[in-house]
Amino acid sequence: MTIALVPYCASIVVCLLLLKTYFSKRVFDSPSAPYPPGPKPVPLIGNFLDVPKVEPWKTYAAWGREYGEIVHFTAFGAHYYVLNSVRVVTDLLEKRASRYSDKPAAPMLKLMDWLWALSLMPYGERWRLYRREFHQQFKAEKNRDYLPIISRGANGLLCNLLAAPEKYSTHMRHFAGRSIMSIVYGYDVAPEHDHFVDIAETALEMLVDSSLPGAAIVNFLLFLQYLPTWLPGMGFKRYAQRCQKLNLQMRNEPFEYVKKRLNAGDSTACVTAQLLERFSTPRPGAFEDGEETVKNVAAMAYGAAADTSVSAMLTSLLAMVLYPEAKAKAQAEIDRVIGSGRLPTFEDRGSLPYVEAFVREVLRWHPVTPLSVAHTVTDDDIYEGYFIPKGAFLLSAAYGIRRELLQDEVVYGAEPGRFKPERFLKPDGTISALYPNSAFGAGRRICAGRHTADATLWIQTALTLAAFNVAKAKDEAGREIDVSDRYTDGLISHPLPFACSIAPRSPQAESLIREARDSA
């Protein structure tokens, strides 16, 4: 066989394997109930061509409006269900959590070596161990120990915004990375191009770009993962190999940094040190080395906190630009309660109900993860007369759910599409019991680090409001530059870059920012 014929023979093999895979699927089995409505499939490939690769949550939300709260589609024999309402998400992911808490071992994620991450790990004993250890380190009571670290990082953020306001996105990312790396590893992040942070951010970016259903063909054609890397169309394997290397560095290098410090006799109260102490004695029946558990749980904290916190903080800044009335009300409350002689601290949180409502509205207004990581079903099920087969993928369409919540005027009041912190206030101006919990997921898979994320967003918002006037930027002719509320694609969605003006509210505010440098 000549080299020139290799690609053609490979293509024939691929087609034969594709047909075998398709006809071995359960799409031709007779289900005990009908599937939910959804877009009409075509032979062999199902709805593969319908699966959106750009802003998929918007397509799924549109399908929800057309077909209902639960939408069914197929791709190469695999079944997908889009959950487009809070009611359905609650019924399946919470009330039937034992059946719907598993995660699909997506081939691309396996190739990239990401299945150690809590949000991507299949449900089982290992997941329960990791979840328990992560929860112990980031539960509400424990989070109070981290507030001084987060405060120092936030003071550093103010100084950076004062020095170079046009780099606001970079400063937000540095603040998030600095805080979580200090909490988890006792490590002081470099002001720019930190080695550990750069590795983690690149690995996370590659994960985000590969996670959504339409992002990698291998997630539909499972057999592709077993074909040689040199075949045409196997670029995804080389991409995965690059990510796998970064992934290993992300987990190992900061972990070794902590071990080196401990071996040198340096004391540190970081999460990794505490976990190493907990796992210092071998445990009967353990299915992996204790150090492997420690490095994975520690790395999960950065992966879970950094990019999501940046997205929420940028949304907070965007809201200040687009809704100056809400910003002014929050600043007036800070001036009235705290005055101009100091900056807000976490101790002031209970005294600033409008600022609290502002933060909650940020979480409600634009979800950080508009489409959740898929769940998978462990057993056949019937839900409201519809068949959901074992192995089906469930996508909780937070974008569609958010739209549903936005339209619920009974709960949130009028003008559901606007940014209105008043939704979370009682008529007397005190904070209500409403909280946008769905921003952090649902069921057993709800974000275990939500208390730290909430604290990070609150202090960033409160300090930015107290110290700066954030407004639309102006061009050379003095005209305001328009700003949109469009967001990026991906598992974690960020506002598209927007121009804004960030200036100290007063000379006294500038002095307070400079004083904050000492505690940063």
Domains and their CATH numbers in the chain: 18-519 (1.10.630.10)
The response to whether 447 counts as a known ligand-binding position is yes
Q: What pLDDT score was predicted for residue 75?
A: 85
Q: What pLDDT score was predicted for residue 38?
A: 95
Per-residue model confidence as pLDDT tens for the chain (520 residues): 333 333 434 444 555 445 444 444 444 455 778 999 999 999 888 888 888 777 777 788 788 889 998 999 998 888 999 888 778 888 888 788 888 877 776 788 888 888 888 777 877 888 888 888 888 999 889 999 999 999 999 999 999 999 999 999 999 999 999 999 999 999 999 888 889 988 988 888 888 777 665 667 777 777 888 888 888 888 888 999 999 999 999 999 999 999 999 999 887 889 999 999 988 877 766 667 888 999 999 998 887 777 788 999 999 999 999 999 999 999 999 999 999 899 999 999 999 999 999 999 999 888 777 666 678 888 899 999 999 998 888 887 655 555 454 445 555 566 667 899 999 999 999 999 988 877 776 566 667 778 899 999 999 999 999 999 999 999 888 899 999 888 876 667 789 999 999 999 999 999 999 988 777 6
- Please state, as a whole number, how many other Cβ atoms lie within 10 Å of the Cβ of residue 104: 19
- Amino acid (one-letter) located at 163: A
| Residue 272 and residue 298 in contact, taking contact as beta carbons nearer than 8 Å | yes
| Residue 97 and residue 444 in contact, taking contact as beta carbons nearer than 8 Å | yes
What is the three-class DSSP state of 107?
helix
Q: In terms of pTM, does the model score above 0.95?
A: no
- Amino acid (one-letter) located at 154: A
d(CA 127, CA 136): 14
| Residue 440 and residue 451 in contact, taking contact as beta carbons nearer than 8 Å | no
Query: Given the DSSP bridges, would you call strands 375-376 and 468-472 parallel, antiparallel or unpaired?
Result: unpaired
d(CA 451, CA 313): 15
**For residues 386-395, b (16+ Cβ closer than 10 Å) or e, as one string?**
bbbbebbbbb
d(CA 116, CA 300): 8
| Residue 35 and residue 29 in contact, taking contact as beta carbons nearer than 8 Å | no
The residue count for the chain? 520
| Residue 507 and residue 498 in contact, taking contact as beta carbons nearer than 8 Å | no
d(CA 197, CA 182): 12
What is the three-class DSSP state of 33?
coil
Q: What pLDDT score was predicted for residue 447?
A: 73
Of the candidates 41, 100, 96, the one whose C-alpha atom is nearest the C-alpha of residue 73 is: 41
Q: What pLDDT score was predicted for residue 385?
A: 93
**In this structure, which long-range contacts are made by residues 251-255, counting pairs with CB atoms below 8 Å and at least 24 apart in sequence?**
251/116, 251/295, 251/296, 251/298, 251/299, 252/295, 253/195, 253/196, 253/199, 254/181, 254/184, 254/185, 254/187, 254/196, 254/298, 254/299, 254/302, 255/185, 255/291, 255/294, 255/295, 255/298, 255/299
Q: What pLDDT score was predicted for residue 480?
A: 92
Q: What pLDDT score was predicted for residue 366?
A: 83
d(CA 421, CA 153): 26
Q: What pLDDT score was predicted for residue 406?
A: 42
Q: What pLDDT score was predicted for residue 223?
A: 81
d(CA 239, CA 245): 10
Torsion of CA 90, 94, 96, 101, to 10 degrees: 120
Q: What pLDDT score was predicted for residue 506?
A: 94
